[in-house]
Amino acid sequence: MRREQFKNDGQTPLNGAISSLVTSVVVADGSALPAGGDFRILIDDELMLCTARSTNTLTVVRAQEGTTNVSHADGALVNHVVSQGGLQSYLRDNDPLFDTDRPAFRITDASQNRLQASDFTILNWGGTDLAATNMGTSIVVTASVGGFITRPYPGGSTWTLTAAVRGLSTSAVAIWATASIGILDSAGLGVFINYRAHEQAIHINKWNNGSYTPPDIVGPFNVFATEWMWLRIVDPNDGNWHFQISDNGKQWIEVGSYGKTAYLGTPNRICFGTFNPAAGCYCTLAAWDDGGGILGS
């Protein structure tokens, strides 16, 4: 299958006039364009789909996306462009959930500024190999026991933290590798919602500086296994934290609620990471909205 191709500053003149019917176009310098199709070119007002390039010769499909096939003069500029059809093709090629209502994977703050691993502060709860690494548009956290990346608690009368997470273990003895989001106070007390992929379950529980505080608030809440689990913590200003899950970031199920002052002091951090009793665990953050509530809204 051909995939949509892109190249910066792709522009070269036509090498010879073309009629409104030809499907083979010769340009002065084919190297200015992607090495092969599919990609889109604009000559005057006509958009064409290039399906192949052999040196300076392009194989094209004429009159794309509502434009009209017309003749073009020798020397007319051939511009490689990004079009609506090109972007849709790229998404169909690369996103199995294209054309659904799932929110885009993006890691942003409440103002929709993109965040990197360096925009979080690392919290180590006993791990020896804790690290947070940018992996394309995702952030991967590795930890041998418990490790998190944190952001300041946004505050406000209402608030929502939304994240798409995945947690995996490379060790057979790491029996409850999790991917978690949670809220911490200044004393290190925390309330977390955890997705345990191997167990196909959600747990909501309390922690004290890396030590589990029984019993679970909720757990286990059985779920279908999914590549990405969407987790959400909502404060609607009713005195409770509301914990929600989704398999697509759009339709949400509430799995439990908990009094805001029942365990925590004043919240000061929100976090993402993993609890794991053995080495070889990592978790991936694909989407994060730390207060705007835009993802999954």
Query: Do 85 and 112 belong to one domain?
Result: no
Please identify, among 61, 94, 127, the residue that sits at the C-terminal boundary of a domain.
94
CA distance 25 to 121: 54
Per DSSP, the residues of 125-157 read: SS-SS-EEEEETTEEEEEESSEEEEEEE---SS
More confident residue, 40 or 251: 40
Q: Is residue 102 part of a domain?
A: no
Q: Is residue 3 part of a domain?
A: no
Query: Do 142 and 174 belong to one domain?
Result: yes
Query: Do 148 and 252 belong to one domain?
Result: yes
Q: Mean pLDDT, the chain, as a whole number?
A: 89
More confident residue, 279 or 219: 219
Please identify, among 94, 118, 145, the residue that sits at the C-terminal boundary of a domain.
94
Q: Which residues pair with 244 in a beta bridge?
A: 232, 254
- 72 is in which domain, residue-wise? 11-94
Which tens digit of pLDDT belongs to each residue from 141-177? 887 778 899 999 988 889 999 999 987 765 555 556 6
Domain count, the chain: 2
Q: Is residue 78 part of a domain?
A: yes
- Read off the tokens for 231: 């987790």
Q: Is residue 274 part of a domain?
A: yes
pLDDT on residue 198? 77
Q: Is residue 4 part of a domain?
A: no
Region class of 198: left (phi > 0), else alpha (psi between -120 and 50), else beta:
alpha
pLDDT on residue 292? 67
**Residue 179 · residue 274 · CB < 8 Å:** yes
Which tens digit of pLDDT belongs to each residue from 21-34? 999 999 999 999 99
Query: Do 80 and 132 belong to one domain?
Result: no
Please identify, among 69, 94, 119, the residue that sits at the C-terminal boundary of a domain.
94
CA distance 257 to 259: 7
